[in-house]
Structure 1
Amino acid sequence: MNDTINVVPRAIEALVATPNDDALARRFADFDTFCDALDYAAQGQRGFNFHDPRGTLKQVYPFRQLRADSLKVAHALIARGVKPNDRVALIAETGADFAALFCGVVYAGAWPVPLPLPTSFGGKDNYIEQLAVQLSSSDPMLLVGPDEIAEMTVQAAARQGCGHATWADFAAKDAPEVALPKAGPDDICYLQYSSGSTRFPHGVAVTHRSLMSNLAAHSHGMQLIDSDRCISWLPWYHDMGLVGCFLSLIANQVSGDYLKTEDFARRPLAWLDMITRNEGTSISYSPTFGYDICARRISSQSPVSDRFDLSRWRLAGNGADMIRPDVMQSFVNAFADAGFKATAFLPSYGLAEATLAVTIMPPGEGIRVELVEEERLSGSPRDLSRPARYRAIVNCGKPVRDMEVVIRGENGASLSDHKIGKVWCRGTSVMHSYFRDPEATEACLVDGWLDTGDMGYMADGYLFIVGRAKDMIIINGKNHWPQDIEWAVEQLPGFNHGDIAAFSVETDNGEEAPAVLVHCRVSDPVKRLELRDLIRDKVRSITGMNCVVELVPPKSLPRTSSGKLSRAKAKKLYLSGEIEPFKLAA
């Protein structure tokens, strides 16, 4: 996309990235508002650095330049009639344009609403529909997006009846300067939609106080040091990318290097190249699938030590999805010769409703797992006629500063260690509300406690996440986690993480049965039949019952905007006929 916000052209070889350290005294998000945080960060030398698809530095954007551009954007927005508490929807493309617009909206007293870019799945019409639904929920005065997708954003804005602009419309920023409103700690800073917010979106309203509390808490949990630098490809419309790898860098004065998410998808090893080139210590987060892609991609490369030096990767964060210990081990096996240490892994747990971080593993402890019987996970009675089966559950760390976590049973009572129940949390960084949705707010916020919707247990002060309560498959009164079924199918040769979606469907006789959609890369009809039967036998060995197995074309299973498999959408598209399985002979 075009970098239109006050970028001074210069030769690539002349670019010098912002430093890891400078003379400005470090403050760890101890500000009243985000505006105060950017005002302070702009006094130093640190900032953002944007890279091309090969990981080559193409734009240096110090925080002082970000602040200057943001103030001009704020005046331009006010000149357009934007008032305090208005919403301004922004297509969150990684780059200087979005950064200045997001911060400019906050300076203007309005609420930025980051929304996703188009994905390869679903096409133009589905993207316009997704935007229209989120615009209807957030009711913005204005939608601003990249010039290149204006055809789609114009249509979405027209359906909502809000204004429309592109990055280029703010390039000059020549509006007259006016007095800017002064935000207070309890004012709303922004609205955040979770990656799964599509059909019935909930806009999480985050105050300045909640944001600063969480940014201070997770920087404290990560034990930031002066040499740390953030390297990221995470999208800025997802809470881990927006809060953890954009807003946190400003509030904690950390320089960052960015690769666009779509560029990572095409060249994932460019991420590791950027970490290699960092002369300081690196902090970099990814969901499980990012580590999986790199480990698989490197298998055909020359010795990793010839290309990568990952010895200074201090914190390799993992979150935003269920953490797979087998994938993490594969990554260690693939990159140990490049200096990567397993102790660098930093499992964590969080959600947009808590701003971001709820728990973080203490640095240096790495991935720790417990083997738990599947019957215990599902709450089903033990079947003594079958051998016990176990699933490895990853330790997601300890509650961050100013956050409490408890596990509650069905009656709402707190449970003791190793008892599985619903995860609840309470703290300053828990959301203000769901925007204009008091019923949904009341359903998950009770006496200051947030019902996360996730299942887990505590052990010696550490949180273990088992799964998402709404994903549970209940057949004949017995509970099954879809992750267990998907994992079992992935053990068959030829399948990757994310190739399988498991959920329940109603069969012709009115009973519920597990259904499994599987990406099929086999073209021979006979081989497809054999594959279906193999999968069916594998699932039967786990669930003890027959299941519906459908082989579907590669890349047909939908993902959320952050790249996670969407089981709910897969089920919906399958039942509506939009995902069309391969026809198999009887």
Structure 2
Amino acid sequence: MSTDKGLDDADRLLPTPSDCPRPRRYSDFGTLGEALDYAAGTERGLNFHDARGTLVRAYPFAMLRADALAAARRLLAQGVKPGDRLALIAETGPEFAALFFGAVYAGAWPVPLPLPTSFGGREAYIDQLKVQLGSCDPSLLFYPDELAALCGAAAEAVGVTGIVWEHFAEGDAPDIALPDARPDEIAYLQYSSGSTRFPHGVAVTHRQLLSNLAAHSIGMDIRDGDRCVSWLPWYHDMGLVGCLLSPVANQVSVDYLKTEDFARRPLAWLDLISRNPGTTLSYSPTFGYDICARRIGSQTPVAERFDLSRWRIAGNGADMIRPDVMQAFVDAFAPAGFQASAFLPSYGLAEATLAVSIMPPGEGIVVELVEETQLSGGSVSAHRPQRYRAVVNCGVPARGMAIEIRDEDGNVLPDKAIGKLWCSGTSVMEGYFRDPEATAACMQDGWLDTGDMAYMSGGYVYIVGRAKDMIIINGKNHWPQDIEWAVEQLPGFKSGDIAAFAITTPGGEETPAVLVQCRTSDPSERTRLRDMIRDKVRTITGMNCVVELVPPRTLPRTSSGKLSRAKARNLYLSGEIQPYDLAA
């Protein structure tokens, strides 16, 4: 899709530089298009790597801008109007980036949609696309040629015109005047992860986006010479906003691995950081750090293979942050120069554009031990020993963001009191696209009910769990994360293998159910594992539970890769998830 006819192959394989003499601006633009216009005056840009971390395409911001302007004119020539939605399969590459910004220049609203995952298969992916296309009601759906069969089927089913983006790039780009964008117009639609409900299209304006991107640059203390490495998917808010739009608006060069390449070879992420001397910034959910720490064996020459000494901001967000995983990563990679102080926990969600709170750089992972009865809203019992959970500090409110912890009646709670986290600020969404009821359910007088439980301590935010995931048995609250983490401590299980939720027994009683992915085929071993899990959960919750062993790769994920407990529960109750048949 490039217009770089004058560059030879050797030039294309030189990465864009980290440094640039042009003064850096920190997202102080009126629109996203203006941000790219300015970034194009630098030599920085996007760099795409193959599965082994070899650079296959350097894409300076100037080239991105030229391709985006050409795409905008092609769109307008095809009859696309300002305010139209353009659905884009969010493959990490220059084609998606050019179409995304082309839609922005044309005044349309780009809508990133997920790639297929290994879960669910062909029909599940087509069904997911059909629902999201029906929700955003786009004029066109763009996708890479290798996904033409899947995406074309979804587009045809809902009456949307599907276009292979390689074919679209070959069309003429007539000299058509582009519309003028205004800061309070919608820039794009972002689908939330949908871990507790089907995802909604979050409408984000240019002003809200750039406010949040400025908060990124200030919160992370972006400096001259900084460089980013990312494998995060562009259909998720942390990948799109944090690792594509923020680098453009803050003029940071980025090196990308595709998400599926990271999944196959996780250590390629750390190899890429090591081979790029200027790399100082990289983000991941907890599971990314977890899988890398697990892949390092005792025989791996960590200090010889990796150099992580310049990694200044190791961001963490998008799911519950686990201090045990972070410590395991430090233990594994300290010989390569990784410093624990580089960890930068944060908290955010698509409905707030992205960042709600960010840990000040250099403070690392900070935890507080909270007694479990405080987490569940009960009182300490004299008849059992106290048990504590380490809750991670997720930083201070991002610039332009206010946070309140409220009880069920809407009263603001004091420090250390657990309640619902509400936020308000310059980057909170306009609302869900064409869904006023869902918007009204979570928005009140400019404040957003995040649906997450948290508390404040000395100005810092501590995230406890997801309110809608709460398991309430006999009037007592139990966090599913506590049950899942307990099972993960047993040998043979890992993060993502377990889903805990409440079900109603035939006798009408509420009880926790635990689905566990099991890799052994031996019936007696399965029975032993089930009993061991049941005993472990009993020690944590004080009650019996239903334990079901299911085949590997059974538990459903959201588009961002997180466990979807709500969907797991629905599939289990409907019989679509079939547990192994164990003897009683």
Question: What TM-score comes out, normalization by structure 2 length?
Answer: 0.98
Match in the other structure for 1:21: 19
Specify the code of the residue in structure 2 equivalent to 1:468: R
- Cα displacement string for residues 163-199 of structure 1 (whole angstroms, at most 9, x for unaligned residues): 1101112222413111100100000000000122796
Secondary structure class of the residue paired with 2:428: coil
Please state how far the C-alpha of 1:431 moved relative to its aligned partner: 0.3
Secondary structure class of the residue paired with 2:180: coil
1:6 touches 1:171 (CA, 8 Å); kept in 2?
no
2:196 touches 2:469 (CA, 8 Å); kept in 1?
no
Match in the other structure for 1:39: 37
Specify the code of the residue in structure 2 equivalent to 1:252: N
Q: Which moved further from structure 2: 567-576 or 212-221?
A: 567-576
2:533 touches 2:547 (CA, 8 Å); kept in 1?
yes
1:195 touches 1:562 (CA, 8 Å); kept in 2?
yes
Secondary structure class of the residue paired with 1:82: coil
Which of 345, 348, 362 aligns to 2:346? It is 348
Match in the other structure for 1:72: 70
Q: Distance in 1 between matches of 2:210 and 2:184?
A: 11
What runs of 5+ residues in structure 1 fail to find an aligned partner?
none
Specify the code of the residue in structure 1 equivalent to 2:175: E
Q: Distance in 2 between matches of 1:173 and 1:223?
A: 42
Q: Distance in 1 between matches of 2:562 and 2:297?
A: 23
Secondary structure class of the residue paired with 2:255: strand
Match in the other structure for 1:94: 92
Specify the code of the residue in structure 2 equivalent to 1:508: P
Q: Distance in 1 between matches of 2:137 and 2:569?
A: 29
Match in the other structure for 1:150: 148
Please state how far the C-alpha of 1:303 moved relative to its aligned partner: 1.7
Secondary structure class of the residue paired with 2:263: helix
Match in the other structure for 1:573: 571
Match in the other structure for 1:139: 137
Match in the other structure for 1:527: 525
Q: Distance in 2 between matches of 1:198 and 1:421?
A: 18
Please state how far the C-alpha of 1:51 moved relative to its aligned partner: 0.1
Specify the code of the residue in structure 1 equivalent to 2:103: V
Which of 227, 244, 247 aligns to 1:246? It is 244
Match in the other structure for 1:476: 474
Match in the other structure for 1:264: 262
Q: Distance in 1 between matches of 2:81 and 2:55?
A: 37
Which of 249, 252, 273 aligns to 1:275? It is 273
Which of 541, 557, 560 aligns to 2:558? It is 560
Which of 110, 126, 129 aligns to 1:128? It is 126
Superposed CA RMSD in Å reads: 1.3
2:195 touches 2:564 (CA, 8 Å); kept in 1?
no
Q: Distance in 1 between matches of 2:432 and 2:520?
A: 45
Q: Which moved further from structure 2: 576-585 or 262-271?
A: 576-585
Match in the other structure for 2:181: 183
Q: Distance in 2 between matches of 1:163 and 1:175?
A: 19
Q: Distance in 2 between matches of 1:301 and 1:193?
A: 42
Question: What TM-score comes out, normalization by structure 1 length?
Answer: 0.98
Please state how far the C-alpha of 1:460 moved relative to its aligned partner: 0.6
Match in the other structure for 1:291: 289
2:231 touches 2:258 (CA, 8 Å); kept in 1?
yes
2:42 touches 2:61 (CA, 8 Å); kept in 1?
yes
Q: Distance in 2 between matches of 1:45 and 1:447?
A: 43
Q: Distance in 2 between matches of 1:237 and 1:26?
A: 27
Secondary structure class of the residue paired with 1:149: helix
Q: Distance in 2 between matches of 1:228 and 1:200?
A: 37
2:18 touches 2:278 (CA, 8 Å); kept in 1?
yes
2:86 touches 2:108 (CA, 8 Å); kept in 1?
yes
Q: Distance in 1 between matches of 2:311 and 2:299?
A: 21
Match in the other structure for 1:498: 496
C-alpha spacing 1:198/1:374, structure 2 compared with 1 (3 Å): closer
Please state how far the C-alpha of 1:525 moved relative to its aligned partner: 1.1
2:194 touches 2:200 (CA, 8 Å); kept in 1?
no
Q: Distance in 2 between matches of 1:197 and 1:451?
A: 16
Q: Distance in 1 between matches of 2:564 and 2:204?
A: 25
What runs of 5+ residues in structure 2 fail to find an aligned partner?
none
Match in the other structure for 2:332: 334
Q: Distance in 1 between matches of 2:496 and 2:3?
A: 41
Q: Does 1:443 align with 2:441?
A: yes
Which of 48, 51, 55 aligns to 2:49? It is 51
Q: Distance in 2 between matches of 1:382 and 1:194?
A: 37
Please state how far the C-alpha of 1:201 moved relative to its aligned partner: 3.1
Please state how far the C-alpha of 1:576 moved relative to its aligned partner: 1.6
2:30 touches 2:183 (CA, 8 Å); kept in 1?
yes
Match in the other structure for 1:453: 451
Q: Does 1:396 align with 2:401?
A: no
Match in the other structure for 1:174: 172
1:72 touches 1:173 (CA, 8 Å); kept in 2?
no
Specify the code of the residue in structure 1 equivalent to 2:39: A
Q: Does 1:515 align with 2:513?
A: yes
Q: Distance in 2 between matches of 1:188 and 1:384?
A: 56
- Cα displacement string for residues 515-571 of structure 1 (whole angstroms, at most 9, x for unaligned residues): 001111122111111111110011111111110000111111111111111111111
Please state how far the C-alpha of 1:302 moved relative to its aligned partner: 2.0
1:434 touches 1:440 (CA, 8 Å); kept in 2?
yes
- How many residues of Structure 1 are paired with residues of Structure 2 in the alignment? 583
Specify the code of the residue in structure 1 equivalent to 2:357: T
1:407 touches 1:415 (CA, 8 Å); kept in 2?
yes
Secondary structure class of the residue paired with 2:312: strand
Q: Distance in 2 between matches of 1:145 and 1:560?
A: 20
Specify the code of the residue in structure 1 equivalent to 2:140: L
Specify the code of the residue in structure 2 equivalent to 1:372: V
